[in-house]
Amino acid sequence: MGDAKKPRDQPDDKTEKEEVGEEVLDEKLDTDMNYRHKYLWRRVLIHVLLHISWFIGIYTAIFHAKVATNLWMLFLGFWIAEGVSLGAHRGFCHKSFKMSAPLKIFLLILQTMSGQNSIFSWVRDHKLHHKYSDTDADPHNATRGFFFSHIGWLLVLRHPLVLEKQRQVDMSDVTSDKLFMFQYRYFLQIYFVLGVLFPVSVPMYFWNETLWSSFFVAYFVPYVTNLHIIWTINSFAHLWGSKTYDKRIKPKQSLFAWIVTAGEGGHNYHHTFPWDCRLSEYGRMGGLSSTLLEFFNYVGLAYDLKTASPSVIYGHMKRHGDATGQKRCIEAERRREREDLMEKWLTTLDC
Ligand SMILES: [Zn+2]
Ligand SMILES: [Zn+2]
């Protein structure tokens, strides 16, 4: 271990973190910038092949595939992204809302189709990410830079601290769930059927698409595109943007990530209030997944949606937000003063 350690950018105030429901960290970890990860060349080769296949898929989509196959690709892309965003992330990991059994099964199927590991592995990694953000115990530690946090972390042997902490993290919520553990045990088999066979068979069966077009367009394009969309949050949203809600942590409010993910770029907000199901303070205006969640709530498939109240959000922002946050607090205060004045004036008129 070398000396070049970057200090962890994390809040210390236990009471306040308890107040907003965030996990309280008992230990301080860093990033050892002298540590060199060992590349796993088989993984590198797989990712190179995946990306070549993505390019072939895009070319095939433009020049060879039927319109229906392209629409199927977009349809699949959207839903498997929701399997990760609403299912694995907001639902299964953060438990920011409760869901009925049909919705749980639906999201679990979509998450399996995304090919982003089992719920067990996804949730374990994400718990580590929140608990030890941007330190050596974070699987995609953004302190190591863009490449590592975006894709590099999947090409190397995990840091010893990640391996140590992943053995210790409490996974009882997942291990006690029979469905999750069934998916964990038979992940490869289920993934092959739902994530590969199903998307490829539909265009061939229903509109006589070729095997080549079905395979490259309906499988590789949505799969690899979604990987990059999710990775954008780990990289861009941890590196560039404002710290509107809490300047003591590394995650940012990233407009780029917001656009790419259709609403998941409010990452400073998410790391400040990880239990808020909206991932921003804007509700349905905040993004596609939030709108979909509101719909599921409306039809009774999702319930007990957790959200942070404006007073909690603004209180935290006033105490810890950066210049962007302070500006918003001042504007909110002025707005309140104007509303108070207007109310007083209207009361006087009534008299
Ligand atoms: Zn993050
Ligand atoms: Zn999260």
Instruction: Identify which ligand lies nearest to the alpha carbon of 149.
Output: 1
Rounded distance from Cα 91 to ligand 1 centre (Å): 16
What is the distance in A from the centroid of ligand 2 to the CA of 213? 35
Query: Cα 264 to the chain's mean position, in Å?
Result: 7
Give the tens place of pLDDT for each residue, 307-335.
999 999 999 999 999 999 999 999 988 98
Q: Are 154 and 116 in contact (CB under 8 A)?
A: no
Q: How far is the CA of 74 from the centre of ligand 2 (A)?
A: 25
Does residue 169 carry a pLDDT above 70? yes
Q: How confident is the model at residue 16 (pLDDT cuts 50, 70, 90)?
A: low
Tokens for 107? 């999201």
Which residues partner with 39 through β-bridges?
Answer: 156
- CA–centroid distance, residue 251 to ligand 1 (Å): 6
- Give the distance (Å) from ligand 1 centre to CA of residue 266: 10
260-278 pLDDT per residue, tens: 999 899 999 999 999 999 9
Is residue 268 within 8 A of residue 243, CB to CB? The reply is yes
Ligand with the closest atom to the CA of 274: 2
Centre of ligand 1 to C-alpha 271, Å, is: 6
- Nearest-angstrom CA–CA distance, 321 and 310: 14
Q: What phi, psi does 146 have (nearest 5°)?
A: -60, -50
pTM of the model: 0.89
Residues within 5 Å of ion ligand 1 by Cβ?
Answer: 251
